[in-house]
Structure 1
């Protein structure tokens, strides 16, 4: 049996580690993990960035799986390759699904003042805003938020807020949690809902997500 290649793209500032809890059969699939690359400049278009990232895809007719900003990115990558299917998790499939606060941030340009150094120097800031009971959570953030270049973070935030897509892609599967506070479910249409799933459900609801991915590719 020919195995189906799956290429994974993590969320903003995250590394491939966020997919470590998925339970997909290595007898059916081959797994490839795309890493964030440095933008050529803050003005680089998301389309050009996706084209450069697509150079890392060597398999034909792959499945693209993206989480959060990675979900936006796999949709952009699908413009440059023939994908068997695009699966987005905790993400949006059109600009209209972005929450109002994102649109306001775009309009006011407030995102340009986001303190990206808090993420870039997470360990230095954590001691000031995390109590002892949250130290364990801080370690988790440190593990999964492994991509912290300031240029990359500024570029990513701008790219999310300025992303333009009017219609959903064909052959797309959208998996979304009902408790997602980054992209609230009330703005999301035609998604497979996971009850109680938050924006980080790739870590906490991995078994359910794995089942949905598998079923969407085998039935």
Structure 2
């Protein structure tokens, strides 16, 4: 029996290393990791999705995306035939965005975000206090793969301006009830993970390892 190909797309600027604790049965699934590429100037998200879709070499794969990666795999799903599209800590439409993101779109406030500061983790460390904060910064250093200013500006704008109004009911949505980026009160329908935050791919990996196989295999 041929294995089921499962492609994982990380969140905004993140490395595929965020999936290092996700272990699927190798006799059933073939795990493939996708990476962010630097976008072309003013490249529409749909064009970018088409470009990333060319990295998918298997027919009828399962696409799994985290956060902005969840938005991207939904766009990739327009270009290829996917067995399933699963999003984690993400949204199925722009209607599920929190109020601050909707206001940011109207006012273009997202253009004021200091991207250079976000990229310069070392300078953030100088202003951090306490072991907990420094541990978090070390975590960011490990998992923040793309430190390109143009990418970051493009990615933030692509999220804010994503205009899908209709939810695709075939997209499976896994979401934590403690997600601080996309609060659960705005999410219409999902598989709920109790205690799951926006980074539950890192700290709820046991739940995901136990449940992802059956979610993928359900017809």
Q: Which residue of 2 aligns with 1:99?
A: 98
Distance in 1, Cα, partners of 2:177 & 2:132 = 26
Distance in 2, Cα, partners of 1:133 & 1:205 = 19
Number of residue-to-residue matches in the alignment: 218
Offset, 1:22? 1.1
Show structure 1 runs of 5+ residues with no match: none
Distance in 2, Cα, partners of 1:133 & 1:59 = 41
Determine if the alignment matches structure 1 residue 24 to structure 2 residue 46.
Answer: no
Q: Which residue of 2 aligns with 1:126?
A: 125
Q: Which residue of 1 aligns with 2:10?
A: 10
Distance in 2, Cα, partners of 1:155 & 1:88 = 21
Q: Which residue of 2 aligns with 1:198?
A: 197
Q: Post-superposition, which runs of at least 4 consecutive aligned residues in structure 1 deviate over 4 A?
A: none
Offset, 1:36? 0.5
Distance in 1, Cα, partners of 2:33 & 2:168 = 22
Q: TM-score if structure 1 supplies the norm length?
A: 0.96
Question: Structure 1 residues 141 and 130, CA, compared in 2 at 3 Å: closer, same or farther?
Answer: farther
Q: Which residue of 1 aligns with 2:137?
A: 138
Q: Which residue of 1 aligns with 2:55?
A: 56
Offset, 1:210? 2.5
CA contact (8 A) 1:23 1:207 kept: no
CA contact (8 A) 1:9 1:35 kept: yes
Distance in 2, Cα, partners of 1:97 & 1:170 = 14
RMSD: 1.1
- Within a 5 Å distance, the mapping from 1:129-208 to structure 2 comes to 129-208=128-207
Distance in 2, Cα, partners of 1:16 & 1:130 = 28
Show structure 2 runs of 5+ residues with no match: none
